Amino acid sequence: MGLGGAGWRSVGSKAHRWGCLRLRGFSSAALPPHMESVGFIGLGNMGSHMARNLINAGYRVSVHDVNENAMKKFSDDGIPTKRSPLEVSESSDVVITMLPSSAHVLDVYSGANGLLGNGGRLGPWLYIDSSTVDPQTSRKISMDISRCRLKEKKGYAEKPMMLDAPVSGGVPAAEAGTLTFMVGGLEEAYVAAKPLLLAMGKKLIYCGGAGNGSAAKICNNMAMAISMLGVSEAFALGQNLGIKASTLTDIFNCSSARCWSSDTYNPVPGVLEGVPSSRNYDGGFTSKLMAKDLDLAMASASGVGYKCPMGSGALNIYQKLCEEGCDAKDFSCAFRHYYTGKDEK
């Protein structure tokens, strides 16, 4: 039988999840024994909520972060905390990482006291990295893991496996458990991991081999940056030509310029309620993270000898915004800070 045997699939069903959520502290007896213990590393804006959702779904979670305050929020609730990634690895069947960038991920997996120890036999059979990193980093770690062996056979797994599973949806979706996961790696590992991922998200997309989840994520974010800058530039031109942004939005949204940046995340203050542009560009997805993702996309493009002129132009704009003090503002602030310098109703 493959890794995704029928006994595994029901565990992450919505019915199971909500049943568990109603019963906090629920016993993990219904989980397959080789999926019960989950180590979670990186308890930041995203990871803290993702780890909580796993706990609520009945997984036995232990956590690690270099930030003591982030760990204290869990230890105060009786969740075991670990001093290093290696310690996490020693008590886990599965390890999930949610870290800022490629350098942090490489350090946590391959650094001193890292998850892979000295490259010998590993306790966990599955490693899932949900950080946004370049596909080359995901592929390197996946290759390093595939060269290791398991301390003991776990479930159907004969050897340790790795999935790159970055997310979209942001902090509200991490909290609500409605993230979308883009997953790269062996398909059998993906099928086996579905219940775990569905405890943190509602949509899973299998993207193919190792690194393809990371590739999908950075392509999505590059397109998002370019479309945000595209509509911002058009709104700014419209303003200069005497057309109100709200009128132009109505036109875009029933015409060929319609996109997420015009109908869901409009960058012009006052056009849509409840989006960062209507609260001084606070909250949301920061310009700093967008610059990081564009940087990853450009580095990945140059790694395969490909040029992305629009992506590289977008990176220049977001780097400039960060240098000018907008690093903590939502990335839609490009409308005000790069294109117009003032608000518009």
Residues with active-site annotation: 217
Of 60-68, 115-123, 272-280, 333-341, the window that binds ligand NAD (rule: CB under 6 A) is: 60-68
Residues 233-292 that bind ligand NAD (CB under 6 A): 285, 289
Please give the structure tokens belonging to residue 303.
């790694």
* Alpha-helical runs (H) found in the chain: 6-9, 14-22, 47-56, 68-75, 85-90, 102-110, 135-146, 170-176, 187-198, 212-240, 245-253, 260-263, 287-303, 309-321, 334
- Assess 43 for contact with ligand NAD (CB under 6 A): yes
Of 19-27, 163-171, 299-307, 329-337, the window that binds ligand NAD (rule: CB under 6 A) is: 163-171
Question: CB-wise, 94 or 245, nearer to ligand NAD?
Answer: 94
Q: According to CB under 6 A, which one of 34, 60, 65, 268 is a site residue for ligand NAD?
A: 65
- Assess 198 for contact with ligand NAD (CB under 6 A): no
Query: What single DSSP character describes residue 11?
Result: G
Quote the crossing angle between the two packed helices 212-240 and 309-321, to the nearest 10°. Answer: 70
- Assess 157 for contact with ligand NAD (CB under 6 A): no
* Min CB(20)–ligand NAD separation in Å: 24
Output b/e per residue, 199-214; b: 16+ Cβ within 10 A.
bbbbebebbeebbbbb
Residue 317: CB atoms within 10 Å: 23
DSSP bridge partners of 146: none
- Assess 44 for contact with ligand NAD (CB under 6 A): yes
- Assess 46 for contact with ligand NAD (CB under 6 A): yes
Residue 144: CB atoms within 10 Å: 17
Cα–Cα distance, 1 to 252 (Å, whole number):
51
Residue keyed to tokens 């004969």: 158
- Assess 218 for contact with ligand NAD (CB under 6 A): no
Q: What are phi and psi of 172, to 5 degrees?
A: -60, -40
Give the dihedral sign, CA 277/279/282/283.
negative
Q: According to CB under 6 A, which one of 107, 187, 295, 327 is a site residue for ligand NAD?
A: 107
- Assess 62 for contact with ligand NAD (CB under 6 A): no
- Assess 167 for contact with ligand NAD (CB under 6 A): yes
Residues 64 and 88 sit within 8 Å (Cβ to Cβ): yes
Nearest to 184 by CA among 133, 149, 123, 150: 133
Residues 93 and 126 sit within 8 Å (Cβ to Cβ): yes
Question: CB-wise, 99 or 245, nearer to ligand NAD?
Answer: 99
- Assess 66 for contact with ligand NAD (CB under 6 A): yes
Grouping H, G, I as helix, E, B as strand and the rest as coil, residue 308 is coil
Question: CB-wise, 90 or 188, nearer to ligand NAD?
Answer: 90
Tally the residues of the chain. 345
Cα–Cα distance, 31 to 45 (Å, whole number):
27
- Assess 108 for contact with ligand NAD (CB under 6 A): yes
* Min CB(31)–ligand NAD separation in Å: 25
Residues 54 and 35 sit within 8 Å (Cβ to Cβ): no
Element holding 41 (H helix, E strand):
strand 37-41
- Assess 310 for contact with ligand NAD (CB under 6 A): no
- Assess 39 for contact with ligand NAD (CB under 6 A): no
Of 115-123, 167-175, 197-205, 238-246, the window that binds ligand NAD (rule: CB under 6 A) is: 167-175
- Assess 45 for contact with ligand NAD (CB under 6 A): yes
Of 166-174, 200-208, 244-252, 298-306, the window that binds ligand NAD (rule: CB under 6 A) is: 166-174
- Assess 40 for contact with ligand NAD (CB under 6 A): no
Size of the site for ligand NAD (CB under 6 A): 26
**Residues at the interface with ligand NAD (CB under 6 A):** 41-47, 64-67, 70, 98-100, 104, 107-108, 131-132, 167-168, 170-171, 285, 289
